[in-house]
Structure 1
Amino acid sequence: MDTNKVIYAIYNDDEVLMDAVKQTRAAHHHIEEVYTPFPVHGLDKAMGLAPTRIAICAFLFGLTGLSTAIWMMNNIMIVDWPQDIGGKPSFSYYQNMPAFVPVMFEMTVFFAAHLMVITFYLRSKLWPFKKAENPDVRTTDDHFLMEVSVAGNEDDMVSFFKNTGAVEVKVIEKHEKH
C-alpha cells in the first residue's frame, strides 16, 4: 500500500473555483478531481479534460434500437403472422412502414436512453452498494473541493491555494491500494 499526499482546497463560490482551477493549471499543478454540488459550466474545459465520446454511444445505441424495431416488426407483422389490419396489405415491409414509424421512434429512444444510463454507470464505476467517494460532505450542499496532488514544497502549495481564494486548505495522506 502506497501513501501519497493530496491537497483539498475548499471554495464557497463557483466563480472563485473556476479562477482557481485556471491558476492551478497555469502553475502546472495536477488536479486529480473537482467535487461540486451542482454542474459548473466550463469546468471541464478549464480542467483540460478531453471531450466526451458519449454522444457517439448514444447514436450507436439509437441505431441498435432502430434496427431491432425494424427486424422485430418485419418478423412479427410480415413474416411470422401477416394480418390484414384496417385494409393495410401485409405483403411487404415498405408498404406498412408509415404505420411502423411510431414503434421505430419509440424503440430508438428506448434503447438510446436505457443503454446510455447503463453506459454512464459502468464508465463512472457506479454500481449498487458502492461506497461513496466524496471526500467532504459539504460538497453535496454548498462548497466546492479541488483535489490536487502534492508535488514540490507542501507549504508553498498550501499558501498558493489560500491565495486563490480557498476558504480552507487541507493536506491529506491518501492511501491507494495496488
Structure 2
Amino acid sequence: MSNTKFILGLFDDPDDMMQGIDNLQKNSIPIYDVYTPMPIHGIEAKMGVKDSRLGYAAFCFGCLGGTVIFSMIYYMLVHDWPMNVGGKPSFAIPNFVPFTFEWTILFTAFGMTITFFAATHLFPGRAPRVMDLRATDDRFVIAVSAKGNVPHEDITNLLKQAGAVEVKHNERKYVSYE
C-alpha cells in the first residue's frame, strides 16, 4: 500500500487550473482543496463552497454587546446610583445610544476576530498548513486525496492533460516552514 496521502497538481496559469478542476469533476474525482496565491473569481462556485455563516456570528456578538452595555448603564444609572441632574429623568434612552453603539461595535470586532481564528485554526504560534510552499508565491495547486478508488495514474494524467506543470505525490500531510 502506498504512503501517498495527496496528489498535487501544480499549475502556472489559473485558467489551466480551472480546466483541471473541470477534468477532475467530470470524472467524479473529489478534490480535497485548491491553493492559489491570489483570489480567483468563480472558484467558490466551481468547488461548491457554501456561503460563510460569519455574518450570523457578527449579529449575535453585536446583540450581546448592545445588551451587556445597555444592562450595565441601566443598572448603574437607574438602580445603583441615580442622580438628579437638572430634573432630568435617570432613564433617558437617548443618553444610552452612543455607549450602546460603541459597545456593539467593540463586541462585534473582538468576537469576529476570535471566531475567525477558531474557525480557520489560525491561532498565534501555530504552524501553518501548506501543501506546497510555492502555492503562496506563484503556483496554483489542486490537492486530490489519494485514498480514493481511482488509480493514481489516472489522476496524474487528468492533471497533466489540463496543463499541470508538475504533479507531486505527497507522503506527508503538510509541509512546514522549517
DSSP-derived class of the 1:82 partner: coil
Aligned partner letter, 2:119: R
Determine the structure 2 residue equivalent to 1:32: 32
Distance 1:68 1:162, change over 3 A: same
DSSP-derived class of the 1:131 partner: coil
Determine the structure 2 residue equivalent to 1:89: 88
Give TM-score, length-normalised by structure 1. Answer: 0.84
Q: CA deviation at 1:4?
A: 4.2
Determine the structure 2 residue equivalent to 1:43: 43
Is residue 148 of structure 1 aligned with residue 144 of structure 2? yes
Determine the structure 2 residue equivalent to 1:170: 168
Cα contact 2:84–2:90 (8 A) shared by 1? no
Q: CA deviation at 1:16?
A: 3.0
Q: CA deviation at 1:49?
A: 2.3
Report how many residues are paired: 171
Distance 1:9 1:15, change over 3 A: same
Task: Give the share of equivalent positions with the same residue, in percent.
Answer: 33
Offset from partner CA, 1:107-156 (integer Å, 9 cap, x none): 11111111111111112222222112112222112222111023322122
- Between Structure 1 and Structure 2, the one with more strand by share is 1
Is residue 106 of structure 1 aligned with residue 105 of structure 2? no
CA-based RMSD of the aligned residues comes to 2.3
Q: CA deviation at 1:162?
A: 1.1
Determine the structure 2 residue equivalent to 1:6: 6
Q: Which blocks of at least 5 consecutive residues in structure 1 are unaligned?
A: none
Matched residues in 1 for 2:167 and 2:104: separation? Answer: 48
DSSP-derived class of the 2:110 partner: helix
Matched residues in 2 for 1:97 and 1:79: separation? Answer: 15
Cα contact 1:6–1:171 (8 A) shared by 2? yes
Q: CA deviation at 1:39?
A: 2.7
